[in-house]
Amino acid sequence: MSVLNVTPNDDLQKAVSSAPSGTEIRLSAGTYRVKLEIRTEGISLVGEDPEKTVIIWDDYAKKLDEKGVEYVTFRTYTAAVIAPNVTFRNLTVENDALRPEEKGQEVALTVYADGFLAENCRFISTQDTIFCGPLPPDLIERYDGFLKDDLRTGNFQRGIFRNCFIAGNVDFIFGCGDTLFENCEIKSIYDVRGHGYVAAPAHALEQEICFVFDRCRFTCEDTVADGSIFLARPWRDYGKCSFIDCSYGRHIAAEGFNKWNDTNRDKTARFAEYGEIPEGRVPWSKVLSESEKDKLLEYFK
């Protein structure tokens, strides 16, 4: 394995683009203001300290590009992982555009590749913090000729976030990937709209694993109102989330889940929990059996 040391005075995108497969890129503490794309397999980005090594950018959905066209959600990322088997450790990825009620979605991390691993990292934004690809099929078609081809992939993608901190307010973990969030703190931040949603899954019916939250802690800022946040709402029919031995703060609504506005997705959504489950959950969520729980976790080993 080759090692490349990078400081905030260096061009991080150039370093990532020129590094051969398998390189460990060590980032010294500091702020890297860059819109980063990773297209080399097996790259590792390792920060000096998760709170002091920060990759940050500020694109947002309603921003206009050089042609006067809005960015939309999927061009707003601070970092995009487009190559397989990429690892992030001990760093922060942040989108600091803020005011999503005016600017629209603001993605910090986009993952479009299999084998992604984040350990001891922080991902911070507001609306749509982390996108776990691929896109739903209808958006792959809609954005033909608009998004780069490698941002429209419909390939299978599996990822793991372990011991991470993830902050946002509306749909801030979303997409179609098979993704494990293990022992993470998932923090809801205040939104002037007065409510929020943690996860917005859009998985296809044939996907069996989807989003799995294992021993995660759902926390909030002091200014977030009691019962104002839902754990998940289905971005498309059949979206699936499973919550295993998680702990929930006062901000999580007793119902747990929302069907997505005036849709009928309560009839197709696949939301389930295991462990100590608060009273009042919606009747269309379920309780996982021990064997179902074990199957989900075994998948990521």
In a domain, 230, yes or no: yes
Residues 196 and 160 in one domain: no
Does residue 146 share a domain with residue 18? yes
Residues 6+ apart with CB under 8 A from 7: 27, 28, 30
pLDDT confidence of residue 51: 97
According to the model, what pLDDT value does residue 137 have? 95
- Are 7 and 83 within one domain? yes
Structure token digits, residue 186 = 């998932």
Residue 180: inside a domain, yes or no?
A: no
Question: Are 52 and 101 within one domain?
Answer: yes
- The 3-class SS string of 96-147 reads CCCCHHHHCCCCCEEECCCCEEEECCEEECCECCEEECCCCHHHHHHCCCCC
- Same domain for 164 and 106: yes
Instruction: For residues 145 and 85, state if they share a domain.
Output: yes
Contact between residue 102 and residue 58 where contact means Cβ atoms under 8 Å apart? no
Nearest Cα neighbor of 161 from 200, 226, 215, 205 is 215
In a domain, 184, yes or no: no
Do 120 and 250 sit in the same domain of this protein? no
Q: Could you tell me if 93 and 55 are in contact, meaning their C-beta atoms sit under 8 angstroms apart? A: yes
CA nearest 196: which of 251, 248, 264, 235? 251
User: Could you tell me if 164 and 225 lie in one domain?
Assistant: no
Q: What is the CATH number of the domain that holds 17?
A: 2.160.20.10
296 and 194 in a single domain? The answer is: yes
Query: Number of folded domains in the chain?
Result: 2
The pLDDT assigned to 107 comes to 99
Sign of CA dihedral 296, 286, 163, 160: positive
The pTM for the full model equals 0.98
What CA–CA distance (Å, rounded) separates 60 from 77?
A: 8
Whether 97 is in a domain gets the answer yes
pLDDT at 1: 76
Residues 199 and 155 occupy one common structural domain? no
pLDDT digit of tens for each residue in the chain (301 aa)? 799 999 999 999 999 999 999 999 999 999 999 999 999 999 999 999 999 999 999 999 999 999 999 999 999 999 999 999 999 999 999 999 999 999 999 999 999 999 999 999 999 999 999 999 999 999 999 999 999 999 998 888 999 999 999 999 999 999 999 999 999 999 999 999 999 999 999 999 999 999 999 999 999 999 999 999 999 999 999 999 999 999 999 999 999 999 999 999 999 999 999 999 999 999 999 999 999 999 999 999 9
Identify whether residues 138 and 265 lie together within a single domain.
Answer: no
On whether both 15 and 147 belong to a single domain, the answer is yes
Domain membership of residue 131 as a residue range: 1-168
In a domain, 212, yes or no: no
